[in-house]
Amino acid sequence: MNAYINQAVESFRTLITEQLERQERIAAGAEVKDYTKMEKIVIGVCGGDGIGPIITREGERVLRSLLKEEVEAGRIEIRTIEGLTLEKRMEVGKAIPDDTLAALKACDVILKGPTTTPHGGNMESANVTMRRELDLYANVRPVNVPDQGIDWIFYRENSEGEYVLGSRGVEIPGKLAMDFKVTTDAGTRRIARAAFEYAKNNGKTNVAIVTKANIMKKTDGNFSKICHEIAEEYPGITAEDWYIDIMTANLVNEAIRSRFQVFLLPNLYGDIITDEAAQIQGGVGTAGSANVGDRYAMFEAIHGSAPRLIEQGLGEYANPSSIFKAAAMLLRHIARTEAAEKLEKALLICTESERKVIATGSAEDAKCAEFADYVMETIAKL
């Protein structure tokens, strides 16, 4: 037993040292990329697993259509990034193969399909690895249901919390297992500033800080405290504390939910509650997600790889709406606002007002490519 304890203590010492070094790197800051001044932008398209290659194929088609002139002029390059499949990752024993990671780092922004993470074992999620390696610290997820007064945007801290060390806990076999949660001051300050900057720049007056600070007093307590320190720099914007359990109830409370605007959350809570919010919007298949850092940005659907659809032979019937919304967020990020607005308007027409072609994952409805055709035909009419 003492041998297990000593091993755990040494492992914990290593983790603390690594995380303090990471805190210092974050505090040092990085130069923020200005896409309006770049002569060329490289967009990587990474299919992933299950329905990922199917929906990203259509996402790439839409991007190429919207960016046709710039692609032909060489101002934008769209690259296919291989090797993020579960089979390849299992073969090399890494969450992201080295050559794939190098290819991703050679891009400026990435459109990514969902990836599968094995249950158990020590293989980390490809998403968690990518967020760490590219320092994608802000996960931004909008949810909009106009007829219910819902216009939400979630700023989820993306590089810390329970996920940063998720595969590096300690275990005494047959006795106990422990995982760790990490909150750094510098990491919290930058996600808080991102949320309050968005609120200031978009006319929002309320930021809900969502934690469980009454129980997780060190980690969530510091997260809340630092967020309020940042809030003091933004007069006119109210910062409110909410606990994650009551906030999950508030999102389905029609009497209160329309008052919320911007949400600011640690990693795990943001992961869970944004799926709930997406379900209110119409399902996780309707929501896109941005993972943003100073140097890189990655855009993806928030749903998984849907292995059951593949097993049932229905992969080609997957709904690509989520990856299209992610593509629209990508376009806004690289300052192609007009193209983003066209795609967003077309999606509203195709999914809300006209609904001439519907993709649901059922063979009774349209295929993924048929819905993409409908979206592109609608864009052409705008």
Is residue 12 located within the same domain as residue 147?
yes
Residue 288 domain-assigned (yes or no): no
Is residue 157 located within the same domain as residue 229?
yes
Residue 67 domain-assigned (yes or no): yes
Is residue 197 located within the same domain as residue 343?
no
Residue 342 domain-assigned (yes or no): yes
CATH number of the domain that residue 125 is part of: 3.40.718.10
- Cα angle: 207, vertex 346, 315; to 5 degrees: 95
- As for how many domains the chain has, the answer is 2
Encode the chain (382 residues) as per-residue pLDDT tens digits: 788 888 888 888 999 999 999 999 999 888 888 999 999 999 999 999 999 999 999 999 999 999 999 999 999 999 999 999 999 999 999 999 999 999 999 999 999 999 998 876 778 889 889 988 999 999 999 998 988 999 999 999 999 999 888 778 888 888 888 889 999 999 999 999 999 999 999 999 999 999 999 999 999 999 999 999 999 999 999 999 999 999 999 999 999 999 999 999 999 999 999 999 999 988 776 778 899 999 999 999 888 899 999 999 999 999 999 999 999 999 999 999 999 999 999 999 999 889 999 999 999 999 999 999 999 999 999 9
Is residue 43 located within the same domain as residue 120?
yes
Is residue 131 located within the same domain as residue 77?
yes
Is residue 335 located within the same domain as residue 227?
no
Q: Give the separation between CA 27 and CA 44, rounded to whole angstroms.
A: 28
The domain boundary, picked from 277, 307, 336, lies at: 277
Is residue 302 located within the same domain as residue 357?
yes
Residue 45 domain-assigned (yes or no): yes
**Within 13 A of 49's CA, how many CA atoms are on the CB side?**
23
Identify which of 117, 115, 158 has the alpha carbon closest to the alpha carbon of residue 135: 158
Is residue 15 located within the same domain as residue 89?
no
The contacts of residue 133 (CB under 8 Å, 6+ apart) are 96, 101, 104, 105
Residue 266 domain-assigned (yes or no): yes
Residue 341 domain-assigned (yes or no): yes
Q: Give the separation between CA 136 and CA 139, rounded to whole angstroms.
A: 8
What is the span of the domain harbouring residue 117?
A: 38-136+293-382
- What is the value of pTM for the model shown? 0.85
Is residue 127 located within the same domain as residue 180?
no
Is residue 93 located within the same domain as residue 219?
no
Is residue 51 located within the same domain as residue 102?
yes
Strands 138-145 and 150-157 come out as antiparallel
Is residue 146 located within the same domain as residue 267?
yes
Residue burial 243-282, b: 16+ Cβ < 10 Å; e: rest: ebeebbebbeeeeebeebbbbbbbbbbbbebbeebbbbbe
The domain boundary, picked from 223, 249, 277, lies at: 277
The domain boundary, picked from 243, 277, 311, lies at: 277
